Amino acid sequence: MNAYTLLIILSGLVIFSYLFDLFAKKTQLPAVILLMGMGLALRFAIDHLGINKPGIVDILPALGNVGLIMIVFEGGLDLAYDRSKNVLIRKAFVSALGLLVITSAAIAGLLHWYTEAPWISCIANAIPLSVISSAVAIPSVAHIGSKTREFVIYESSLSDILGIVLFNFVVSNSTFGAQAFGHLAIEVLAVILLSAVFCMLLLGLLGRITHSVKFFLIMAILVLVYAVGKQFHLSTLVVVLGFGLFLANAKLIPFKWFHERFMYPQFDQDMAQMHQLSRETAFLLRTFFFVLFGYTLVPSELRGITTLVLASAMLVLTLVLRALAMMALRMNVRPLTYITPRGLISILLYLGLPETYRIPAVSTGLLFAMVLGTCTVMAIGLMGAKPSTPEAPTADGPEVV
């Protein structure tokens, strides 16, 4: 494959991804399904035509991580805080953590019963299949009511972060005693402190850069901090979300010294440009990631009975547990029950599984089936949602999200 053929394919993928996004807005069918399907079709065409395969599959994890950073950062920029959102944020955190733990336990139990693999391996494999993907959920809820949309942004971003924390905790510890949990607590506190310091430093840098190129510099620093943290098994995605939230709400910080030292005249203009740049970068990275994931799938894995049985059982478990959680939290069961897609973060965690924890039954085909199943269910659940629908009150009066 020569350079011009590759350029034709890459530019064509971006054009088709744009068309898929337009189609998704009309049909509520997540564009990631179409992108993965295009990846499968691309693999079939390349194999059928005997074209030399491009050596770009190895960049899949790196591409996915940068895409995740951009998507979570963009989600944070969308969230303007006020005190009335405290209840919503608490519910989002409880939902993200509770469902991650309960769903992981349920899927691990299913895997242990079905495969008789060790419990630790079952838990490690269950976590990627239990994390809500912000990369899929956030773009899919752009048209629904503001409170429900904000809940999904908080919940899915927190699910990504908590999923990474839990996954790293499980695969990095051979035992789970007081020492392991002590290290986890220290890690969480260190990341929160790092996030606070990093946000101040980056905002100060942003206001002092006079070069015409500064937004990609800021994003490169974000990626660098995330990657360095990941080398030490720190959940530095918190830093990414925190920086987005910090920029979106910097004007609300009530300290005069902060406004004198960190706020500058072009702040609003810079935020608008950064938001647009992060949105378009996330779109580009998401396009190539899901196409490449579809390209790497082995078609024979998608036809196995074991894959279909396990995926169906996991999908039912996921939806039942989520419906019960939404009712317990007194939230709109529809459409929130259906908004539990698996996607980019699930794939990244699965690719990061150590060989010693891998279970043959948990293949890329099973992962693809879960992504496809949860995204299809979400599409069906969102079909009845209307733009900016007022949130329905509960019987006792308070607002439901």
DSSP characters for 208-223? Answer: H--SS--HHHHHHHHH
pLDDT tens-digit series, residues 123-162 = 999 999 999 998 888 888 877 777 788 899 889 988 988 8
What is the predicted pLDDT for the residue at 54? 59
What is the predicted pLDDT for the residue at 209? 84
What is the predicted pLDDT for the residue at 387? 58
**Sign of the C-alpha dihedral, residues 280, 281, 284, 290?**
negative
Only one residue has tokens 């630790």, namely 120
pLDDT exceeds 60 at position 401 = no
At residue 397 the predicted structure's pLDDT band, cuts being 50, 70 and 90, is very low
Only one residue has tokens 């050596």, namely 55
Ordered by where they begin, the domains of the chain are: 17-49+59-291+305-382 (1.20.1530.20)
Q: Which residue has the higher pLDDT, 50 or 39?
A: 39
Average pLDDT, the chain: 83
Average pLDDT over residues 180-191: 81
Question: Would the pTM count as exceeding 0.75?
Answer: yes
What is the predicted pLDDT for the residue at 73? 84
What is the predicted pLDDT for the residue at 252? 84
What is the predicted pLDDT for the residue at 57? 59
Q: Percent of the chain scored above 70 by pLDDT?
A: 92
What is the predicted pLDDT for the residue at 391? 44
What is the predicted pLDDT for the residue at 1? 61
Closest CA to 305 of 366, 370, 374: 366
At residue 399 the predicted structure's pLDDT band, cuts being 50, 70 and 90, is very low
pLDDT tens-digit series, residues 201-215 = 888 888 888 887 888
Ordered alpha helix ranges (H), 209-304: 215-231, 237-248, 256-262, 267-296
- Cβ proximity of 88 and 147 under 8 Å: yes
What is the predicted pLDDT for the residue at 384? 65
| DSSP structure string for 345-399 | HHHHHHHT--GGG--TTS-HHHHHHHHHHHHHHHHHHHTT--TTPPPPB-TTS-B
**Sign of the C-alpha dihedral, residues 131, 186, 231, 248?**
positive
Highest mean pLDDT out of 41-45, 54-58, 325-329: 325-329
pLDDT exceeds 50 at position 400 = no
Average pLDDT over residues 298-315: 82
Q: Of 236-240, 246-250, 274-278, which gets the smallest average pLDDT?
A: 236-240
pLDDT exceeds 50 at position 394 = no
Residue 6: which H helix or E strand, with range? helix 3-27
Q: Percent of the chain scored above 90 by pLDDT?
A: 22
What is the predicted pLDDT for the residue at 118? 93
